[in-house]
Amino acid sequence: MTTRRIILIFLSLFLTLCSCLYTPGSSKASIDLNDLTIIRNIYIDDAFTVGEEEDIARALIAWTKASNNKIKFNSLYRHSPPGELDDYFFNKSYNDSIFIWRINTYNLSWHLKDRLSKYSGLYDRKGNIIIFPDKISINAIFANVVRHEIGHALGLEHSTTENKSTMKAIDIDISDCISKEDTDRLCAIYFCVGQPECN
């Protein structure tokens, strides 16, 4: 059997299955994206202080509220890191869970220190959020950085507008709340009705 024939058979089976799930105007079961709830597993490094864990919890609650409960988090605190950051950062393939690392920049290996020491936090697009508390001078900014990086993990890019946004690229410009701009962008991805904390 040729590869083309196998692909055609697979495509035919797939389209048949899809037509069972959704047929406009019929009484068959359909998938409504507005009714789906997204649940993300968040593993939190055991190196965070209790105060930092509280800030992380508030940030996760803020994103849940901002999505009008469309996005929920299964928060798993006090987890040991899944390995050495060097190995994990470079080799982890993306999955739907997120690990929030707490790392001081002076503990980074030399090749990561050159790349990462300018950040107070980052998301690597593979499920790692890394927070560098030694680069954050004020506790209020810690909460803002965590909220910002979780926004990246949810698929949001940096905001380039003049509007108030938790997704601004520079720490001192990051809003201390999730704005209408943030929820509009979030809900364009997750089909939700946004509930901003501020305008």
pLDDT at 125: 83
Per-residue pLDDT at 11 exceeds 70 = no
**Terminal alpha carbon distance of the chain:** 60
pLDDT at 81: 82
CB of 166 within 8 A of CB of 179?
A: yes
Please, which residues have CB within 8 angstroms of residue 18's CB and are 6 or more apart in sequence? none
Measured N-to-C along each axis, helices 50-66 and 139-153 cross at an angle, to the nearest 10 degrees, of: 50
pLDDT at 10: 53
Please, which residues have CB within 8 angstroms of residue 15's CB and are 6 or more apart in sequence? none
Per-residue pLDDT at 198 exceeds 60 = yes
CA–CA gap between residue 147 and residue 37 (Å, rounded): 20
CB of 109 within 8 A of CB of 73?
A: no
pLDDT at 89: 61
For the segment 42-68, what is each residue's pLDDT rounded down to a tens digit? 999 999 999 999 999 999 999 999 999
Per-residue pLDDT at 27 exceeds 50 = no
For the segment 137-188, what is each residue's pLDDT rounded down to a tens digit? 765 689 999 999 999 999 999 988 877 889 988 756 677 889 999 999 999 9
Per-residue pLDDT at 75 exceeds 50 = yes
pLDDT at 48: 95
How many other C-beta atoms can be found within 10 angstroms of the C-beta atom of residue 150? 26
Global confidence as pTM: 0.78
pLDDT at 33: 58
For the segment 78-128, what is each residue's pLDDT rounded down to a tens digit? 988 877 776 666 565 555 688 999 988 888 888 788 888 788 899 988 888
Signed CA dihedral, 43, 47, 50, 54: sign only? negative
pLDDT at 196: 94
